[in-house]
Structure 1
Amino acid sequence: MASINTTPLLQEIDSELEENDIHESLAIKDNKPLFKPIEPKDKFYTVYFIFYLLGIVTLLPWNFYVTANDYWMYKFRDTDIHNNTVKGSEVKDKTPLQAEFTSYISVASAVPNLVFLVLNAAIAHRVSANKRILASLLFMLLLMLVTLIFVLIDTDKWQHGFFMITLGIVVLLNVCSAVLSGSVFGIVGNFSPVYITAVIGGQALGGIFAALAEIVSLALGASSTHAALVYFIIGNVTIVISVVLYIVLTKTVFYKYHIEDKFLSISDFGSSSSTTQLVCHSVILKKVWIYGVSMFLVFFFSLSVYPGVTVLIESEGRGSGNKWNDVFFVPTIAYLLFSIGDYVGRITAGRLQQPKNETVVLILSLARFVFIPLMMLCNAQPRHHHWDVVFNKDYEYIIILFLCALSNGYLANLTAILAPRKADDYEKETAAAIMTVFMGIGLALGSTLSLFMVKML
């Protein structure tokens, strides 16, 4: 029910007050809405679908770069031993570039992501969301086109140079992802939890899509480079579609209702300067910091071992000649299963939204530390004998990985939904942006730690 404005329309006033002073006084005393217009319907769930797609695109570079593991293993293989017909995933002994590439790419993704999530939160009220989102999408498309071109170039004679160029592209891609993610989460914070879940669910669904593409290409017997060519073409097409649909999104009545002014307040009849409500970041931070720390812990613990360590965990039957053990195990378990668990967790949180107590959420997030030693004790190769293999059975690793993914998705979505509720309406976009900063810090520090976790095996 809409709140009722209880300020008397007629009251005694000092005859010495000027008419403008009366208007200004009224505007300052009560800025509550007189009425709230009826919320329009999201016809054909158009806005919901577009938010889902934008969620996929926010992590599209990450998903396509990480999931194309077979392609990177081929690019960084030992060319003195293995000829062009041998796939990277079939190489038993990994080169240093092969073993550490995933961890380096995680750091190259997370650090710029954090920096620009902070900058995005700072400029959220200075640069329009439309400009930020469209600019980041177009620049992301350009960088993905460059990635596509490199698939067709022979880099065998300058692998280290290609390695550095790739990391540079990853840095720039994640600058785009950070601005896009922060802007989209800032916008969707004004909508109901269903739409927040759509964005977060889309992020997880993107991982499932990329993993399925990898598995299908391997099943068809496509070469590493041909598979990568398909991946990055799909990625570019997806970005183009998202640009078009985002423009459509901004034209819908449902979107305008939630983003533009929805209230007609008494201040509309007074001084225009009185309608401005200043956003104080420190005040909002005090309201959401516990949820923010929870968000940080969720991603810090996950990125410490995923995908840097999990991509190195092999099947107990590897080397037996069975395609499941030698070819399909890593893309199916390390990527597809994790993405499915993450997705299920996010969707479940969108429906249950329990627990709501911020302290309980913080404790649950902290308890996820247990997944770091559990993953380290699985059959990750190569090992330097710092940790022994305790969970050498495939089913043990699968259970641990799925629980890690499920809890990651559930708690990430839960904190993203609950945090904006602690803020006032005009603070919700900034509150959501601040939450993405906490997420970025967790991603950056977790990815950095994953470099050391790989060396500690």
Structure 2
Amino acid sequence: MYKFRNVSLNTSTLNATVKRTPLQTEFTSYLSVASSIPNLIFLALNTAISHRISLNTRVLGSLAFMLLLMLQTVIFINLNTDQWQQLFFGITLAVIVLLNVCSAIFSGSIFGVVGKFSPIYITAVIGGQALGGVFAALAEIVSLFIGASSTHAALVYFAIGNVTIIISIICYVVLVKSVFFKYHLLEQQDFGEFDNKSASLNISSKVIVKKMWCHGLSVLITFTVTLSVYPGVTVLIESEGKGHGNRWNDVFFVPTINYLLFNIGDYLGRLLAGRLLKPKSLTVLMILSTARFIFIPLLLLCNVQLKHSWDVVFDKDYQYILILFIFALSNGYLANIVAIHVPRVVDHHEKEIASSIMTVFMGVGLTLGSAISLLIVKIINR
């Protein structure tokens, strides 16, 4: 918001009365597209190269490169980019692309490995993914709460991100040395000789896809719906009380509701799926995933800024909060229940590849949803 403000007005964009610039309005949607496309490509590549490059190289290499990119982001915080906003916009998107290349390799590797463990560990990793969103939202709120300038608040926020990556590297090094981790990895390696030949691997992948394509389609639909409106559209939904000088409505509403509440709902949904382990029926899963399309018009009928074509139906904050929470809860629940069921429909030696393929289906959903989101934002911003 600060970097892409209208510099000619000589005022902070956090002021509720200042109209957003096109870069401010569309940045989140462009961010989603720049994230999802490289994420999809490298999730697919990771599935292909997972048996040619060691797990440690993929995980530690991706984390180390992510740390370098995040350090570069910290440097840009204190650079005055007012006179070259378009260039900074392009550089930022390029960094996002590279970050998501690393993220895809990292997450694809982790999800592939966790497929060898029992469902409780799958829930832990899936839940951790959502909990990371909660942590990031809290970091953003803290950076705003300190009341410093936009640049100082951003410095705190991205410094927390860098520290988190360093902690992740340390945790992974400790993890791979544990007897428990080595046992499950070695146990899996005892099954089958197909890992050694790429031809056998290709045949196995086709067989695996035939066994789990319905699960993959379900998660694809789930993430397509979610990314169609979150966060590109939901970040534009404002509080009913914005513009009256209340910091909750003007400053904290979007980060607290759009990011923190969503990620809490997503996290709770994933935990709930790990406990209930239902539905097991593929038909029910597909119906539930498809039914979530109703959330797209529901959220568009909330208090979306810049909307000109239709009236606001859900103009109260509590209505938007309820819709968003159910939206997040269903996303987390369906994402985890599918991830739990997939290792059960394939043979033991196919679990790692099956889990990696699931991340590809997820990446396709993220990409489609991001493209739809950008289209929606451009339409309502006319």
Q: Is the 8 A contact 1:87 1:223 kept in 2?
A: no
The answer as to 2:144 corresponding to 1:218 is yes
The answer as to 2:21 corresponding to 1:95 is yes
Q: CA deviation at 1:155?
A: 0.5
Q: CA deviation at 1:415?
A: 0.5
Q: CA deviation at 1:89?
A: 5.8
The answer as to 2:173 corresponding to 1:247 is yes
Q: What is the alpha-carbon distance in structure 2 between the residues aligned to residue 286 and residue 131 of structure 1?
A: 30
The answer as to 2:303 corresponding to 1:358 is no
Q: Which residue in the other structure is 1:231 paired with?
A: 157
Q: What is the alpha-carbon distance in structure 2 between the residues aligned to residue 221 and residue 386 of structure 1?
A: 37
Q: CA deviation at 1:359?
A: 1.8
Q: What is the alpha-carbon distance in structure 2 between the residues aligned to residue 103 and residue 247 of structure 1?
A: 35
Deviation per CA, 1:57-113: give whole Å up to 9, x if none. Answer: xxxxxxxxxxxxxxxx00000000033xx2536453000000000000010000000
Q: 152-161 vs 125-134, which deviates more?
A: 125-134
Q: Which residue in the other structure is 1:21 paired with?
A: none
Q: Which residue in the other structure is 2:128 paired with?
A: 202
Q: What is the alpha-carbon distance in structure 1 between the residues aligned to residue 286 and residue 194 of structure 2?
A: 39
SS of 1:449's partner is: helix
Q: What is the alpha-carbon distance in structure 1 between the residues aligned to residue 335 and residue 245 of structure 2?
A: 39
AA aligned opposite 1:252: S
Q: What is the alpha-carbon distance in structure 2 between the residues aligned to residue 203 and residue 261 of structure 1?
A: 26
TM (normalized to structure 2)?
0.95
SS of 2:8's partner is: coil
Pick the structure with more helix per residue: 2
Q: Which residue in the other structure is 2:334 paired with?
A: 411
Give the alignment partner of residue 172 of structure 1, picking from 98, 106, 109. Answer: 98
Q: What is the alpha-carbon distance in structure 2 between the residues aligned to residue 345 and residue 261 of structure 1?
A: 31
Bigger CA radius of gyration: 1
TM (normalized to structure 1)?
0.80
AA aligned opposite 1:157: Q
The answer as to 2:357 corresponding to 1:429 is no
The answer as to 2:282 corresponding to 1:329 is no
Q: What is the alpha-carbon distance in structure 1 between the residues aligned to residue 189 and residue 194 of structure 2?
A: 15
Deviation per CA, 1:160-219: give whole Å up to 9, x if none. Answer: 000000000000000000000100000011011111111111111111111112222322
Give the alignment partner of residue 398 of structure 1, picking from 301, 318, 321. Answer: 321
AA aligned opposite 1:159: Q
Q: What is the alpha-carbon distance in structure 1 between the residues aligned to residue 195 and residue 374 of structure 2?
A: 50
Identity across the alignment (%): 64
Q: CA deviation at 1:306?
A: 0.3
Q: 401-410 vs 198-207, which deviates more?
A: 198-207
Give the alignment partner of residue 313 of structure 1, picking from 233, 237, 243. Answer: 237
Q: Which residue in the other structure is 1:343 paired with?
A: 267
Q: What is the alpha-carbon distance in structure 2 between the residues aligned to residue 160 and residue 226 of structure 1?
A: 22
Any residues of structure 2 matched to 1:368-387 within 5 Å, and which? Answer: 368-383=292-307, 385-387=308-310
Any residues of structure 2 matched to 1:444-455 within 5 Å, and which? Answer: 444-455=367-378
AA aligned opposite 2:10: H
The answer as to 2:33 corresponding to 1:110 is no
Unaligned 5+ runs, structure 1 = 1-72, 268-272
Q: Which residue in the other structure is 2:112 paired with?
A: 186
Q: Is the 8 A contact 1:117 1:436 kept in 2?
A: yes
Q: What is the alpha-carbon distance in structure 1 between the residues aligned to residue 330 and residue 15 of structure 2?
A: 29
The answer as to 2:11 corresponding to 1:80 is no
Q: CA deviation at 1:262?
A: 6.0
Unaligned 5+ runs, structure 2 = none
